[in-house]
Amino acid sequence: PVFASRTPQLPAPFGTLAYTADRFTDLPPVDRLSAFPLFFDLMCFDADEETYAAYDKISFAQLVAKRNASQQLYDVFLKPVLIALMFAPPEELSAAACLAVLTNYVLSHQNDFDVRWPSAPQQVFERWTERLVDRGVELRGSTPVSHVLVDGNKVAGVQTTNGENIEAQIVILACGASALPRIIDKSPAAVRECAGLRDIGNLTCSAVTAARLTAEP
């Protein structure tokens, strides 16, 4: 967790702001400060049923605009966090719901700010793997890809680091910010010059993808 070993233990929201500073390097102090008007809403949105209902009638995106929070704060921090927690963009979520989540997850429980895996994550992936195999999917672990193969201007598959060619009509590049530039750099010009991959060498991080997994009995 972010705050487990950080001292002093600052009260919310100061601990959250102070101890995540090194994790949001593209969020300047002036943008961070623009969040302070929202703290009033965090403290009073559930004061009573009438107040909660009023916040529930507007979207969180509308509330952020009303409080003049910076667009950078919204794009870099608020929107990604809420999408990861609530699986929907803030413009589709009520302000009351978002404030409740931010209060509980980001402010009230600072020691749990980082997302944690279930106590037995292997159980999740084992069941997931079984379902995929049952549907004819071949899963191959410990098989790093060297580069993408092409036939003319069409994708033909990938070559692994041990020299094996795996034919494919579609290649999904979902290997993260560290491996992806190396794969593209070793691939033929048709891949390197693709509009969506041309500047991949400047990639420094991967966007977060949130998925909801439903456990069946």
Mean pLDDT, residues 121-140 taken together: 85
| Cα 5 to Cα 95: distance, rounded to the nearest angstrom | 32
In this predicted structure, which of 80-84, 108-112, 180-184 has the lowest mean pLDDT?
108-112
The pLDDT score that the predictor gives to residue 11 is 61
Q: What pLDDT sits at residue 123?
A: 72
Q: What's the mean pLDDT in 52-62? A: 95
Q: Is the pLDDT of residue 215 over 80?
A: no
Residue 1 pLDDT: 43
What pLDDT is attached to residue 77?
Answer: 84
Q: Residue 31 CB: number of other CB atoms within 10 A?
A: 19
Whether the full predicted model's pTM is greater than 0.75, yes or no, is no
Bigger pLDDT: 202 vs 180? 180
Instruction: Label residue 190 exposed, middle or buried (CB < 10 Å: 0-12, 13-18, 19+).
Output: middle
Percent of the chain having pLDDT more than 70? Answer: 76
pLDDT score of 36: 86
- Give the highest mean pLDDT range of 7-11, 125-129, 207-211: 125-129
Q: What is the mean pLDDT of the chain?
A: 82
pLDDT tens profile 17-56: 677 677 667 778 898 889 889 988 988 999 999 999 999 9
**C-alpha to C-alpha distance for 39 and 23, rounded to whole angstroms:** 21
Query: What is the model's pLDDT at position 85?
Result: 80
DSSP string, 52-84: HHHHHTSBHHHHHHHTT--HHHIIIIIHHHHHH
Average pLDDT value for residue range 121-125: 70
